[in-house]
Amino acid sequence: MGLKKIKKLLAILLSTIFFTSAITSVSAATFTDVPENHPYKDAVEFSRAKGFVAGTGVSTFSPDAKVSRAQFAFIWCRSLNIIEDNHPYSDITKLRNYYDSSVVILRGLGILSGTSTTRFSPSGYLTREQLALITMKTYNLGVADDDAYKAYADSAAISDWAQDGVSACINAKVLEGLYDGESFKPGEHVTRAELCKLIYNISVPAYTITIAPLEGGTVEALPSKARPGTVITLTVAPEAGKQLKAGSLKYNGTAVTGNTFIMPAENVTITAEFEDKPTVLESISVTTPPAKTTYTAGEALDLAGMVVTANYSNNTNNVITEYTTVPDAGSTLDTQGTVTVTVSFTVGDVTKTTTFTVQVNPAG
């Protein structure tokens, strides 16, 4: 059997092992520098629980620390369930460094190359575009869309040799929640937390979000397919005259607080109920002014003939008489010039006002 066929079969075997790997329960003890709100917390804890990574201290992980090429080879082998321990044979020279076996294995599989024909540069740092290419090689990812990498605003900065790798990772959706921003930043160094997130994305299946049939409005979920721990944002759009019934927005029967929830390790169905909006007073207007709008100082305000209309949220309106005015009807108008009369009307705890003016001339 040729080397090419052996590598292909091994890639299939690795993918099967990796994708069928069950989610391991996470130890109660967590890293103090990876708080609950850290975007990659689930991924870090998953990778730690699986034995792929360890902390940099008793309770620290250093999530933002850069990953060296040696560290990457060691972690990558572990994530692939490849035994990277040194050999046990006494009649063969032992490898010296913790990463030697990992580097030799990955190079033999055609997954990892050196920085030149004679050097590996173990202390050098791994870049994002290098990681994308390695991921494509490891899992034999196809490139469904050659131009997928161009979705990034800085696509021109992605090296020619890495373009297929980036496109393949986008097509396989393994960069979701990782490098799915506007820019890819291909030359930026990979961090420990980012590597955990990629491993997590490949290991853990993405679950679907289904919107149940609704009446009176719509609900949209973004993203509509996600891995556990992903923040799902719901956009609720009631139809005209409708509103979301309080407490009715749920995922798998669990009430949603606000408009987001954390994706569980299962498929999700979104349910919601819409109800008629209560009729609310929106405005009032003087649709017919009083018969008398010009006065002589000392005369009383006369509102006879005035018609006031109330307008409601359900696009209805009606003439009202239970309004109040300032100044009141019958009040003596002593101030000369233009006088503003404020009309108020209250329904429940909602009060609306409008105004009109009258002219007060000097007496005599």
- More confident call, 88 vs 335: 335
- List, edge to edge, every strand of the sheet that includes 337-347: 294-296, 350-361, 337-347, 324-326
Q: Same domain for 223 and 161? A: no
Q: Same domain for 198 and 255? A: no
Of 183, 203, 223, which residue is a domain's last? 203
Residue 322 sits in a domain whose CATH number is 2.60.40.3630
- List, edge to edge, every strand of the sheet that includes 268-271: 225-226, 207-211, 268-271, 250-251, 254-255
The C-alpha atoms of residue 281 and residue 278 are separated, in whole angstroms, by 10
What's the pLDDT at 321?
95
For 198, counting Cβ atoms within 10 Å of its Cβ (0-12 exposed, 13-18 middle, 19+ buried), the class is buried
Q: Is the pLDDT of residue 248 over 90?
A: yes
Among 5-14, 80-89, 173-182, 229-238, the range scoring the smallest mean pLDDT is 5-14
* Number of domains into which the chain is organized: 3
- Which residues are 352's β-sheet partners? 345
The C-alpha atoms of residue 224 and residue 258 are separated, in whole angstroms, by 18
Q: For 190-203, write each residue's pLDDT tens digit.
A: 999 999 999 999 99
Q: Same domain for 93 and 136? A: yes
The average pLDDT across 215-240 equals: 92
pTM: 0.61
Q: Same domain for 320 and 293? A: yes
Residues 6+ apart with CB under 8 A from 212: 269, 270, 271, 272
- Residue 357's SS3 state is strand
Q: Same domain for 306 and 225? A: no
Inter-residue contact 44 to 34 (CB < 8 Å):
yes
- For residue 331, the enclosing domain spans 281-361
Of 225, 244, 276, which residue is a domain's last? 276
Q: Same domain for 296 and 233? A: no
Q: For 115-154, write each residue's pLDDT tens digit.
A: 999 999 999 999 999 999 999 999 988 888 899 999 999 9
The C-alpha atoms of residue 75 and residue 196 are separated, in whole angstroms, by 9
Q: For 68-118, write each residue's pLDDT tens digit.
A: 999 999 999 999 988 766 667 777 777 788 888 899 999 999 999 999 999
The C-alpha atoms of residue 112 and residue 123 are separated, in whole angstroms, by 15
- For residue 351, count other CB atoms closer than 10 A to its CB: 12
The average pLDDT across 179-183 equals: 91
Confidence of residue 3 (pLDDT cuts 50, 70, 90): very low
What's the pLDDT at 260?
94
State CA 39 to chain mean position distance: 10
Q: For 16-33, write each residue's pLDDT tens digit.
A: 444 434 333 334 458 999
- Residue 8's SS3 state is helix
Q: Is the pLDDT of residue 299 over 80?
A: yes
- For residue 154, count other CB atoms closer than 10 A to its CB: 12
Q: What percentage of the chain exceeds 90 in pLDDT? A: 73
Q: Same domain for 45 and 104? A: yes
- Residue 50's SS3 state is helix
Q: Is the pLDDT of residue 259 over 90?
A: yes
Q: Same domain for 171 and 45? A: yes
Q: Same domain for 106 and 126? A: yes
Confidence of residue 228 (pLDDT cuts 50, 70, 90): confident
What's the pLDDT at 231?
84
Q: Is the pLDDT of residue 287 over 90?
A: yes
Of 253, 276, 299, which residue is a domain's last? 276
State CA 41 to chain mean position distance: 15
Inter-residue contact 354 to 284 (CB < 8 Å):
yes
Q: Same domain for 122 and 235? A: no
Q: Phi/psi at 184 (nearest 5 deg)?
A: -90, -30
What's the pLDDT at 86?
66
Alpha-carbon distances, residue 146 vs 149, 160, 168, 179, 329 (angstroms): 7, 12, 8, 18, 79
The average pLDDT across 59-70 equals: 95
Q: Same domain for 154 and 44? A: yes
Q: For 150-166, write each residue's pLDDT tens digit.
A: 999 999 999 999 999 99
Length of the chain: 364
The C-alpha atoms of residue 253 and residue 269 are separated, in whole angstroms, by 8
Q: Same domain for 216 and 334? A: no
Q: For 36-60, write each residue's pLDDT tens digit.
A: 889 999 999 999 999 999 999 989 9
Q: Is the pLDDT of residue 354 over 50?
A: yes
- Pseudo-torsion of CA 281, 282, 288, 291, nearest 10°? 70
Mean confidence (pLDDT) of the chain: 89
